[in-house]
Amino acid sequence: MKQDLLDKIFLSIQDGIIIMDQHREVVEMNPAATRLTGWRIKDKVPYCSYCQNRQVAEGEERCYLISRETVPYFLSEMPTYHGDLIDVEMSTALILEEENGRKYYLLMLKDWTVKRKEEEARVSKSMLKQLIEAKELEHKRLAQELHDGVGQSLYSIAIAMDTIMQRIHDAPLHAYIDEVRKELGKTMDDVKSYAQQLRPRSLDSMGLVPTIEQLVQSVQNKMPDTRFSFGSNLEGRLPAMVEINMYRAVQEALHNIMKYSNASHVSIQIQKEEPFIHIHITDNGVGFHLKDNKEGMGLRHIVERMSQIGGTTEIHSQIGEGTSIDIAVPTNQEWEHEDDNSDR
């Protein structure tokens, strides 16, 4: 029974198990090793990329795996039967030495291809997160500069022009300065709008829901023939990066609606239903084909931003049937009680 159990383990285990002699000739191997390498019994185990290039002393076995009685673990690339290189974690141990001097080694192979891809994806996601954070910090700095620097300077000029107008009684000159004053007012509104788009001040001072209410009202003013409805049961504050990513997602969705949808009704709902915060954005506009649409880049930005905070995004649309965007962000302990509001 014990032998049967060992045989089942040998046949079923997902790691490659190979028995080879001191000449690297394969004596036995399990199915996983065959699938992984394509080698066969009596084949010679090829040198890995490390052994092919390592410096060896005179008379020393080039194969690092059998140059020592035991090799705990090391990573390298191993050639397969088809000539491809695969990332593997390898270990060996001398398990038998016969009287005639023939030695047998146990070689264990673990495929690291998937883990390497997972690590690359993790690093890529981490870099994207750092890029988004740096971008948002720069947006915040520029918005602050526009508001407190350029905005305040323009306001001071406007006050000065009002004072000058009170002292001028020449009608044509008074009318000219009045026109300049109106243009200055438009410029001040533009600067305020640019600062708002870069980073709404209310997001830091008041939070996500009031800021989205302001955003919805702003879009409503630009689309007077479209009815907007907004609702939320979300209370309190969320970590800064969670709030800004959620805000950007709604902002991007409304931008697409303004540009493409031709909708008569738009609904934005933010609901906290443990263990998620759900954002539902729907419109009854013209819709589009998901595989062939002009909004693709903006939608990808939404998906990327939500992935940075562990959220998922589902987008549904049909020509003539409008569009819906459903976002779910988990309210896990990792960020729900995180204190990152110190820069507000």
Query: Which pLDDT tens digit goes with each residue over 19-28?
Result: 999 999 999 9
Instruction: Give the whole-angstrom CA distance, residue 65 versus residue 91.
Output: 7
Instruction: Give the whole-angstrom CA distance, residue 214 versus residue 146.
Output: 19
What does pLDDT average to over the chain?
84
Average pLDDT, stretch 165-180? 87
Is residue 290 within 8 Å of residue 317, measured between CB atoms? yes
Is residue 67 within 8 Å of residue 61, measured between CB atoms? yes
- CATH class of the domain defined by 2-111: alpha beta
Instruction: Give the whole-angstrom CA distance, residue 314 versus residue 278.
Output: 11
Is residue 166 within 8 Å of residue 178, measured between CB atoms? no
| Token representation of residue 260 | 């493409």
In the chain, DSSP assigns E strands to: 16-21, 26-29, 70-79, 85-97, 103-111, 227-232, 265-273, 276-283, 312-317, 323-330
Rg of the chain, C-alpha, whole Å: 33
| DSSP characters over 7-50 | HHHHHH-SSEEEEEETT-BEEEE-HHHHHHH---TTPBPPPPHH
pLDDT (tens digit, 9 = 90+) per residue, 221-258? Answer: 989 999 999 999 999 889 988 999 999 999 999 999 99
pLDDT value of residue 334: 57
pLDDT over 70 for what percent of the chain?
91
Q: 10 Å Cβ neighbour count for 267? A: 16
| Token representation of residue 262 | 């031709």
Which of 169, 216, 230, 218 is CA-nearest to residue 192? 218
Domain 202-336: CATH superfamily is Histidine kinase-like ATPase, C-terminal domain (3.30.565.10)
Asked if the bond preceding 210 is cis, omega within 30° of 0, the reply is no
The structural domains of the chain, with segments of one domain joined by +, span 2-111, 112-199, 202-336
How many alpha carbons lie under 13 Å from residue 332 in its C-beta half-sphere? 7
| Token representation of residue 39 | 């080698």
> Pick the residue with more confidence: 132 or 63?
63
State the burial class of residue 269 (Cβ atoms within 10 Å of its Cβ: 0-12, 13-18, 19+). middle
Q: What are the residues whose beta carbons fall under 8 Å from the beta carbon of 61, sequence distance 6 or more?
A: 67
Read off φ and ψ for residue 54, nearest 5 degrees: -75, 155
Instruction: Give the whole-angstrom CA distance, residue 304 versus residue 145.
Output: 28
pLDDT (tens digit, 9 = 90+) per residue, 71-122? Answer: 667 778 888 766 678 888 888 888 899 999 899 999 989 888 777 777 777 7
